[in-house]
Amino acid sequence: MILCYILIEKIRRGEKMKILKYLLVACMMTMSIFAQETKRIALTFDDGPKAKITEEILEVLNENNAKATFFILGTNGKRYPKILEKIYDGGHQIANHSYNHPNLKKLPMNDVKKELESTNKIITSVTNKKVVYFRPPYGALGKTQKEELKKSLGMESVMWNICPKDWEKPSDADYIAKFLVENAKDNGIVLLHDYGKTAQALKVAIPELKAKGFEFVTVEELNKK
């Protein structure tokens, strides 16, 4: 606003060179603001919770003030309810990854709903909130299934656009960390799993990405932007 008043005054006086100078300053200030703009990224973890490993991941996240989304299996959630509580108490999001990890695309719709509803009950017992987001195992879900689940259960499927394939044997913590740092992008959704090597990779990747201006948010927060 101050620059605008100065420019108006310079125009009145016919001081062209000074006008150009102030315009240059304004451009530099604008570029600086855009350069400092925070980029948002969502870390997501499938197949948990798992004893010790999920807790190790939570420790890394909490140390770095980073939020994440855990797509849990109903079988594991039932086995480790205390870990679910730790996830929720840490400010993270708990979402649905089915009960037994089947290929939902190959199941009748009634069985698909049972898989999701059984896991929803486990999640809701901890959060007291309606579960909206789910990720189909293997990313396998038919278009008709997706539409029906949104209509009947009010649930939305969540895929990903960044994937270091941490489940493959050749990938180790160094590779995963390097991949995350090099491929991170604004509005990115990262597919990860509750593995020890993934927890180790996050110890390196999260601080580096924060230094690059990334903010770690839940899927729900990312979708609110």
Catalytic residues: 46, 193
Strand 214-216 relative to strand 39-46: parallel, antiparallel, unpaired? parallel
Q: Is the peptide bond before 170 cis (omega within 30 degrees of 0)?
A: no
Element (H, E) at 190: strand 188-193
CB 156 within 8 A of CB 133: yes
Task: List the alpha helices (DSSP H) in the chain.
Answer: 2-13, 16-35, 53-63, 74-79, 81-89, 109-127, 143-152, 173-183, 196-211, 219-223
CA distances from 9 to 14, 15, 16, 25, 29 (A): 9, 9, 11, 16, 20
CA distances from 64 to 58, 101, 205, 206 (A): 10, 30, 11, 7
